[in-house]
Chain A
Amino acid sequence: MCGDFALNIELQGWSVKIQDALEMVSQTHPGMVRSHNEDSVAFDLPSGLVVLADGMGGYNAGEVASGIAVSVVATEIKHRLESVKPEEQDAFSGEDEAVVLLRDNVQKANSSIFHAAESQPQYSGMGTTIVAALFYDDRVAVAHVGDSRMYRLRGETFETITRDHSLLQEQIDSGMISKQDARTSKNKNLVTRAVGIDDDVDVEIHIHDLQVGDVYLLCSDGLNDMVEDEDIGSTLQMLRANLPLAATQLIQMANDNGGRDNVSVILVKVNGKFATPSGWVQKLLSWFKN
């Protein structure tokens, strides 16, 4: 009796697909000043994958760099997920496969950009920031390089869960400048790491547990330079019921405040649990199938 009941619960849990548990939207805008949009965004709901990149480099090289980064990471991971389960451990490193997938493919994007830049003089020196997240098994693995960010709204708390690889962040960390003063710094937008400027890249990756109701925001600095974190947070809080409207509103706020840079956002809302069933349930299921 009791066992049947437990099994039913697990079966219901098992049937939740990631598509039904998550909601994703994205928007990108060139802003009010720039003619080019050097940001690139992509998401794939069935894979639980979101990618955002902010390119840099003269003429259209920035667009090329962020475009390569996003397409390499998105298509490669999507392809690899056909044969690899993100929640399983990598035999070699013992890390979640999700972490390995993110690191390998950001590095792959890095070499693609680096080699394109080396072979085409007009692309020389191009590079890009990146923030990519893979949602799986009630968790999210977040990889980032540079100053594109991921924020989390959980209940009333809105905070960044990535730390910029930037001069300003280093200055804040070393206690040279307070967070308050950082707002008036004239050294914004100097990144200490980027994808595609060297033959190797150091990717920072962390895993976070998800809770139902969480809203995640990935954005380029065109948003957080123009809109205070507080205002971004309260906007998400108010509009969490309508994700597309929240995305539109954030971009509008950046543009209303001057829109001096390209602005891109991806929003992900966790509407339910989607844990992969634990070992014994799987065994039981396969036993039933036989």
Chain B
Amino acid sequence: MPAKLILSMDGVVLKEYVLNKERTTIGRKPHNDIVIDNLAISSEHAAIITILNDSFLEDLESTNGLAVNGTATKKHFLQNNDLIEIGKYKLKYLNDQPAQAPSADFEKTMVLSRPVKTSQAGAETSDFTRTQTNVGVGDVTGKFVAGTDGEVAAAAPAAVSQVAAVQILNGPNAGKELELVKSLTTLGKPGVQVAVLAKRPHGFFITHVEGAKFPMVNGASTGEQPHQLNDHDIIELAGVKMEFYFKA
């Protein structure tokens, strides 16, 4: 479903617009796609460039400018539920792309257009306008089943609900506590013996990285394989003893 804009003033919805064009203009003059007949609005106030599922808002050097979510802006990459303010008017941007491809047969990667045959340097860095025309939906090679994988940046690591730490039990650093906040924490001396503590969605694991000896957990060698840690396990590494525990 294409993205939409909902025009309102003083909380009253005036009209709804579908962003089905590559360029949608907003302004006071009647030739605009979204006409707002008010003197605070410039004749050509702003434009929204839509490329497949992404939309970009651009100020067309208007007299009174634009704000998105309360911040003045010249150019903005629109996100679902953004609120664009133009004078007293508000435009809400809605883009509720489905979070995942509806069918497993759908392909993730697809080819946008046929490759450029010539290899001149200019072909690579296309300017703004070229990019736009290049991506007109008609240009997409229909050969590949196009599954739009709309999920927003899944790169954020899955949260581990538990917080854990290790406390050193012997040697000069005895008593020191190290909270395991990062997804990976290395322990030991490089070149001598190193192990890594990995934070995963279902718990914490210790794995041998380098050195002739493997880490010990509760007196037993872990070998080369990852070993899941339990509350109050005792880790021994390069002569240093540590206790692993979950924090409340």
CB distance from B174 to the nearest CB of A (A): 25
Known contacts being A186-B52, A252-B200, is A181 close to B77, with CB within 8 Å?
A: yes
Report which of A35, A174, A241 forms a contact with B209, defined as CB distance below 8 A. Answer: A241
CB distance from A117 to the nearest CB of B (A): 9
Report which of A34, A183, A235, A260 forms a contact with B184, defined as CB distance below 8 A. Answer: A235
CB distance from A129 to the nearest CB of B (A): 7
Cβ contact within 8 Å between A202 and B52: no
Cβ contact within 8 Å between B105 and A59: yes
- Closest A residue, CB atoms, query B107: A56
B9 at the interface (CB under 8 A from A): no
Q: Range of interface residues on chain B?
A: 35 or more
B145 at the interface (CB under 8 A from A): yes
A95 at the interface (CB under 8 A from B): no
Known contacts being A177-B56, A184-B152, A256-B158, is A193 close to B143, with CB within 8 Å?
A: no
In whole angstroms, what is the CA distance A127 to B100 when docked? Answer: 23
Cβ contact within 8 Å between A261 and B53: no
- Closest A residue, CB atoms, query B77: A181
B183 at the interface (CB under 8 A from A): yes
B1 at the interface (CB under 8 A from A): no
Where the two chains meet, the residues of A that have a C-beta atom closer than 8 Å to any C-beta of B are 33-35, 54, 56-59, 62, 124-125, 127, 129, 145-147, 166-167, 170-171, 173-178, 181, 183-194, 197-198, 200-202, 221, 225-228, 231, 234-235, 238-239, 241-242, 245, 249, 252-253, 256-258, 260-261
Cβ contact within 8 Å between B131 and A170: yes
Known contacts being A228-B155, A258-B154, is A62 close to B107, with CB within 8 Å?
A: yes
In whole angstroms, what is the CA distance A186 to B147 when docked? Answer: 12
In whole angstroms, what is the CA distance A191 to B118 when docked? Answer: 17
Cβ contact within 8 Å between B196 and A227: no
B144 at the interface (CB under 8 A from A): yes
B210 at the interface (CB under 8 A from A): yes
Known contacts being A174-B125, A202-B116, A242-B209, is A190 close to B110, with CB within 8 Å?
A: yes
Cβ contact within 8 Å between A257 and B141: no
Residues of chain B lying within 8 A (CB to CB) of residue A167:
51-52, 112, 131, 135
Which DSSP category, helix, strand, loop or mixed, fits chain A's interface?
A: loop
Residues of chain A lying within 8 A (CB to CB) of residue B156:
257
Known contacts being A231-B183, A261-B108, is A56 close to B144, with CB within 8 Å?
A: yes
- Closest B residue, CB atoms, query A54: B109
Cβ contact within 8 Å between A197 and B131: no
Which DSSP category, helix, strand, loop or mixed, fits chain B's interface?
A: loop
B30 at the interface (CB under 8 A from A): no
Known contacts being A167-B135, A252-B200, is A197 close to B143, with CB within 8 Å?
A: yes
Known contacts being A197-B143, A198-B114, A241-B210, is A186 close to B119, with CB within 8 Å?
A: no
CB distance from B153 to the nearest CB of A (A): 5
Where the two chains meet, the residues of B that have a C-beta atom closer than 8 Å to any C-beta of A are 51-54, 56, 77, 79, 95, 97, 100, 104-105, 107-119, 123-128, 131, 134-135, 141, 143-145, 148-158, 182-184, 186, 190, 194, 196, 198, 200-201, 207-210
In whole angstroms, what is the CA distance A189 to B147 when docked? Answer: 10
Known contacts being A167-B51, A184-B79, A256-B200, is A201 close to B107, with CB within 8 Å?
A: no
Cβ contact within 8 Å between A56 and B155: no
Residues of chain A lying within 8 A (CB to CB) of residue B53:
186-187
Residues of chain B lying within 8 A (CB to CB) of residue A192:
111-113, 115-116
- Closest B residue, CB atoms, query A185: B54
Residues of chain B lying within 8 A (CB to CB) of residue A261:
108
In whole angstroms, what is the CA distance A137 to B74 when docked? Answer: 50
Q: A62, A129, A188, A227: which has the most chain B beta carbons within 10 Å?
A: A188
Cβ contact within 8 Å between A170 and B126: yes
Given A183-B153, A187-B53, A198-B114, output 7 extra A-B contacts at Cβ < 8 Å.
A129-B109, A170-B134, A174-B126, A177-B54, A184-B153, A198-B117, A200-B115
Cβ contact within 8 Å between B54 and A187: yes
CB distance from B16 to the nearest CB of A (A): 21
Cβ contact within 8 Å between B110 and A191: yes
In whole angstroms, what is the CA distance A156 to B190 when docked? Answer: 16
Known contacts being A176-B56, A184-B153, A192-B115, is A56 close to B51, with CB within 8 Å?
A: no
Residues of chain B lying within 8 A (CB to CB) of residue A170:
125-126, 131, 134
Residues of chain B lying within 8 A (CB to CB) of residue A178:
77
